[in-house]
Amino acid sequence: MEKKKKLIICAALTGGPTTKNNNPNVPYTPEEFAEECFRCYQEGASIVHLHAKDPESGFATMDVEVHGKILDAVRAKCPELIINISTGSAMDTPDVRIRPVEVFRPEMCSFNTNSMNFAFVDYKKGEVLLEFIYQNTFKDQVFWAKKILEANSRPEFEIFDPGGLSNVLLLDKQKDLFKHPLNFQFVYGVAGGMAFDPMLHLSLVNMVPEGSTYSVCGVGPHQMPAAFMSIITGGHVRVGLEDNVRMPDNSLARGSWDQVRLVKDLARIAGRGVASPEEARVMLGIRE
């Protein structure tokens, strides 16, 4: 494994259900998004993953106008950053979920790879508090893949369990759906998906096709153990308030940039440099 290659850090700023009630540093307005992106960039992030927020309610939205205002503000403040737009939503139709990608043609966007139970739970009691079916059928995936190609964007494949990775490899046999290299993200800690486990992580790494990249995203207490593991196995890391509103000492993060700074320190300890946005573009196949 190429353990010494530079580390790509992605900052996921908001998430769908994460609000200022969870952490007052979650951005809602275009100005807040722009400032948070700039802080993340200063600390070493080369990618920002964005869920648009209704600036009044803080709820996630696929509204194109809201997306446009946020993207304009972010690009004006930090044009160097790679923007990764979320297509994740359990409440919208497949065409609504992909519409912001069609309109704004971001360099990257998320691509959900399997339908699944998705829940919010009380882990101490084992109780399910809220649940829904997160639908991402093969038909949906083929539809999104074609729209992403038309937008000249690159999908980031969200792997909630090993079956999602197998689904991507299956569809990739069609030869005309995905540009290479393929870029995967192992999502650990969503109730209904896989928990972080070092041996499972190594199995997933071994499933990744040669020449592809992978990153990790750990929810809640899975965040930093997954980050450690990815750094030492040659992968990349996503952190941010979407995944965890707290730091390892359980204090509220001062922003997603707070976690980016910590991951940058972990990379230094492991002897890995941090990739600039331009370097990340080459590594991810966005540019040659």
Look at residue 175 and tell me if it is in a domain.
Answer: yes
**pLDDT per residue over 137-150, tens digit each?**
999 999 999 999 99
pLDDT higher than threshold 70 for residue 1: no
Rounded Cα gap, residues 139 and 210, in angstroms: 26
Tokens of 189: 């800690």
Residue type, 270: A
Look at residue 2 and tell me if it is in a domain.
Answer: no
CATH number (domain holding residue 215): 3.20.20.70
pLDDT higher than threshold 90 for residue 288: no
CB within 8 Å of 239: residues ≥ 6 apart: 9, 10, 11, 12, 223, 227, 256, 259, 260, 262, 263
CA angle, residues 161, 16, 84, in degrees to nearest 5? 75
User: CA 71 → CA 15, 91, 152, distances in Å?
Assistant: 16, 22, 17
- Produce one character per residue of 227-244: b if its CB has 16 or more CB atoms within 10 Å, e if not: bbbbbebbbbbbbbbbbb
**pLDDT per residue over 96-118, tens digit each?**
999 999 999 999 999 999 999 99
H or E segment to which residue 238 belongs: strand 236-239
Look at residue 214 and tell me if it is in a domain.
Answer: yes
Look at residue 144 and tell me if it is in a domain.
Answer: yes
**Residue among 214, 248, 219, 217 nearest 233 (CA):** 214
**pLDDT per residue over 22-78, tens digit each?**
999 999 999 999 999 999 999 999 999 999 999 999 999 999 999 999 999 999 999
Whether residue 223 contacts residue 244, with contact meaning beta carbons closer than 8 Å, is answered with yes
Tokens of 63: 């509204």
Look at residue 3 and tell me if it is in a domain.
Answer: no
Look at residue 54 and tell me if it is in a domain.
Answer: yes
Look at residue 4 and tell me if it is in a domain.
Answer: no
pLDDT higher than threshold 70 for residue 3: no
Q: What is the DSSP letter of 17?
A: S
**Domain count along the chain:** 1
Torsion of CA 88, 260, 69, 144, to 10 degrees: -30
Per-residue pLDDT, 139: 98
Among residues of the chain, what percentage have pLDDT more than 90?
Answer: 94
- Could you list the residue range(s) of the whole structural domain that residue 15 is in? 9-284
Look at residue 249 and tell me if it is in a domain.
Answer: yes
**pLDDT per residue over 221-239, tens digit each?**
999 999 999 999 999 999 9
